[in-house]
């Protein structure tokens, strides 16, 4: 049996310690709990500990859980790869989408976000290490996409998201997060108003917080290893 309350405490302690080490304001990093492949009952358990932001990677699975957890006040984040035939469901069932990686998807989310909802918060997913198996934008194409969606009214581009190549050296982990931070500063220097760096997972959250992460996406440290799908 996993002890959700203890895991929750440990993860929050790690985040607080990383904030202090980085000289950052306590509470400046938001924990987004990643529930993919885990049952809705675990999400309910963590919500009972006080967690409010939850992320999912698969649309069908997410919507099933949302229905099961309808009675809770959860802020839902989508972090999975996006097929264009799923954008309508994503636009109407989530507050945040961290994984926008092309213009067409941004257009569809903007068109499909219900008008009685607040604008959808978006992050552009980066792939700065040019990994062929991973989706995400290069620095250059991310800056181009920012310009292309500048006047969209139903989505609000908040910043960047990255899932770096897994490496164990903390300095290597930090180096890639530093690149993401520099890209955000570059974009803001060009007149954008980005405020979000979605980076840091179970194995590298300290390095991400050291480089300015505002949202860490944590699964394993909260819920334990994921069951086989």
Ligand X SMILES: *Cc1c(COP(=O)(O)O)cnc(C)c1O
Phi, psi at 15, each rounded to 5°: -65, -45
- What mask of x and - would describe binding to ligand X in positions 106 to 145, judged by CB under 6 A? ----------------------------------------
Least distance to ligand X, CB of residue 151, Å = 28
Are the beta carbons of 76 and 47 closer than 8 angstroms? no
Fill in the DSSP letter of residue 85.
G
Q: Which CB atom, from 79 or from 90, has the smaller least distance to ligand X? A: 79
Q: Which CB atom, from 109 or from 152, has the smaller least distance to ligand X? A: 109
Report CA-CA distances (Å) from 202 to 29, 117, 158. Answer: 14, 32, 23
Which listed residue (163, 176, 184, 208) binds ligand X by CB under 6 A? 163
- Residue 142 three-state SS: helix
Q: Which CB atom, from 59 or from 152, has the smaller least distance to ligand X? A: 59
Least distance to ligand X, CB of residue 161, Å = 7
From 7-15, 42-50, 175-183, 197-205, span contacting ligand X (CB under 6 A): 197-205
Are the beta carbons of 72 and 90 closer than 8 angstroms? no
C-alpha 168/C-alpha 165 separation (Å) is 10
* 220's tokens: 């394993």
Which listed residue (12, 30, 57, 93) binds ligand X by CB under 6 A? 57
Which listed residue (34, 105, 124, 146) binds ligand X by CB under 6 A? 34
Q: Which CB atom, from 43 or from 221, has the smaller least distance to ligand X? A: 221
**Nearest partner of 119 among 78, 85, 157, judged by Cα:** 157
Does 59 sit near ligand X (CB under 6 A)? no
H/E segment holding residue 14: helix 4-21
Q: Which CB atom, from 89 or from 202, has the smaller least distance to ligand X? A: 202
Q: Where are the beta strands (DSSP E) in the chain?
A: 30-34, 53-56, 75-78, 96-100, 120-126, 155-162, 196-198, 215-218
From 20-28, 146-154, 181-189, 218-226, span contacting ligand X (CB under 6 A): 218-226
Are the beta carbons of 183 and 157 closer than 8 angstroms? no
Does 220 sit near ligand X (CB under 6 A)? yes
Does 45 sit near ligand X (CB under 6 A)? no
Which listed residue (43, 69, 79, 106) binds ligand X by CB under 6 A? 79
**Interaction site with ligand X (CB under 6 A):** 34, 36, 57, 79, 163, 201-203, 217-221
């Amino acid at each position: 049996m996993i002890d959700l309350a203890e895991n929750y405490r440990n993860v929050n302690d790690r985040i607080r310690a990383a904030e202090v080490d980085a000289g950052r304001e306590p509470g400046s990093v938001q924990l987004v709990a990643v529930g993919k492949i885990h049952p809705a009952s675990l999400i309910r358990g963590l919500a009972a500990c006080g967690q409010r932001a939850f992320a999912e990677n698969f649309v069908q699975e997410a919507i099933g859980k949302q229905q099961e957890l309808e009675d809770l006040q959860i802020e839902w984040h989508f972090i999975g790869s996006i097929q264009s035939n799923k954008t309508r469901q994503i636009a109407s069932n989530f507050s945040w989408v961290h994984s926008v990686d092309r213009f067409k998807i941004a257009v569809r989310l903007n068109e499909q976000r219900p008008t009685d909802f607040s604008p959808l918060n978006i992050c552009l997913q980066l792939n700065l290490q040019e990994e062929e198996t991973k989706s995400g934008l290069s620095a250059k194409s991310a800056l181009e996409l920012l310009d292309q969606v500048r006047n969209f009214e139903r989505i609000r581009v908040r910043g960047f998201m990255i899932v770096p190549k897994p490496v164990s050296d903390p300095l290597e982990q930090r180096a890639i997060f530093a690149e993401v931070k520099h890209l955000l500063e570059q974009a803001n220097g060009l007149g954008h108003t980005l405020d979000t760096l979605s980076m840091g997972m179970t194995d590298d959250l300290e390095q991400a917080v050291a480089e300015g992460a505002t949202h860490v996406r944590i699964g394993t440290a909260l819920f334990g290893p994921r069951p086989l799908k």
